Amino acid sequence: MTSQAGAQPPTPEPSAETSKVDEPPRLPEVIVTAPSRLPGDPLPLSRVPATVDIVPGDRLRGTGAVTLQEALARLPGVNLTDQQGNSWQMDLSFRGFRSSPVTGESQGLSVFVDGVRVNEPTVEEINFDLLPLDDIDRIEVIRGPAAGFGRNTLGGVINIVTRRGAAGYEIVPEIEGGSFGRQKYRLQAGGASGPFDAYVAGSFFKEEGWRDESASRVAKFFGKVGLKYGGTDAVLSYQRADNRIEQPGSLPYPDLRRDPTQNYTGGDFFKPTMNLVNLSVRHSLSPELAVSMTGFGRWLDAEQFNVNQIGANTRSFVGTTSAGGTFQLGYDRAVFGRANHLVVGAEYAHSDVRLRVFEETMGASGLESLISDNQNAGHRGHREGSAATRRSARDDRRRPLGLAPPRHRRSEPAQRSAECIGHQHLQPPQPDDRLQLQPLARLGFLLQLLRGLSGAGVSRAHVLGARLDLPRAPGGRGP
């Protein structure tokens, strides 16, 4: 006699619907505009020979961060330091390579907005308060050296792509308020109709700050109009920023323990006004061949005031005018049955910088120095990525095969320390020719041939009434 109490019913055959439900979800493939300088030649993330972090604009704004540095601090390996005592001017670093708004700091990162390099032409500093944080569509953070993005790109690239009008129409007002007198007002509108699209936004931010004399006023405007017709995609954008940022700076440790809100030398501030116009055009000549071009003009007027306890106070005025363009040719075609992506490009930029520094003592001011810097910079590059396998015949265990940091020729200065009489011409080092090979993940490689424009008269500075002091490094050669 057999008991049926503990018998198990037969397992039913899995149906098609059950199998479909049990399948793991598949995420869409991430498309990266970088490492191309200009938008329009996207690559799958698996074909980019670098570690890339993609931060969508919605997630960026969802963090509640006020500044771009605070938003990027959530990425692994990103660190912030605060020298100026104001969150708008914090230093940002990737694995030891820094990007800072402080003049004179070592700079190792490059920042691009819609294909336009926004590092200041003089000493490569970044004014993060001028970047359109609220109008970002996505940010691509490329870690590691990438000489294809130009000079000083040692630690990585921050590639910013701004928003444009989407299907339909929208008007979005925003009002924010908080502690320490924080106020923010913003209005954006955008839409698309047929081949045209438009996007416009303006914002005003004001905060008193939690320290003495640490107020911030940031006013921005951003507008963009676009046209998509056939194989042509054209975009014209305009950006303006008018800010005033007070800089309480650091405190001696005894003063910090006694009252962290005090200001050791109250009165320091940075007041920039910036206008940027950018025109980008991309045209598909065929399904495999596309050409992209961009031209920009940028005007920056900045005032910096520093209070000194011992010497005279200083007030400097910097006027920067920059203009240039980039040309890029993209070609996609299968070679030996494997996908191949070739990009060839060139860029040229001209910058004219004028600096005036005044000393102020007991209400009286006098001109201390007048510096004029006229720069012409050019760069051309070639990049090819394919699915072919390439092995290095030489096994160098001391340094892995990859993108090496740019090397520079060092010109011997004719005079180490001298009182300038008339005009003193300064010729900075020029980049060497570089051939770079980078293996790709999943059977691929990247080849770049970069050549510096030697003898192009780059970065000639004219100094009037100033003193140059370039001391030799202890135990080594001079700068």
- Going along the chain from its start, the domains and CATH numbers come out as 29-469 (2.40.170)
Per-residue pLDDT tens over the stretch 143-160: 887 767 777 788 888 999
The answer to whether residues 420 and 466 touch, using CB atoms and an 8 Å cutoff, is yes
- How do residues 157-215 score in pLDDT, each as one tens digit? 899 999 999 888 999 999 999 999 999 999 999 999 999 999 999 999 999 999 998 99
Separation between Cα atoms, residue 415 and residue 405, nearest integer Å = 28
Least-confidence region, from 32-46, 155-169, 300-314, 389-403: 389-403
Tell me what pLDDT residue 275 has: 97
Please state, in angstroms and rounded to a whole number, the distance separating the CA atoms of residues 157 and 475.
Answer: 34
Task: Give pLDDT, residue 180.
Answer: 92
If pLDDT is split at 50, 70 and 90, which confidence band does 449 have? very low
Report the C-alpha gap between 262 and 214 in whole angstroms.
Answer: 10
What confidence category does residue 266 fall into, taking pLDDT thresholds of 50, 70 and 90?
confident
* pTM for this model (two decimals): 0.72
Q: Are 92 and 303 in contact (CB under 8 A)?
A: no
Q: Name residues whose C-beta falls within 8 Å of residue 385's C-beta, 6 or more positions apart in sequence.
A: 43, 47, 49, 340, 341, 342, 440, 444, 445, 446
Between 450 and 360, residue with greater pLDDT: 360
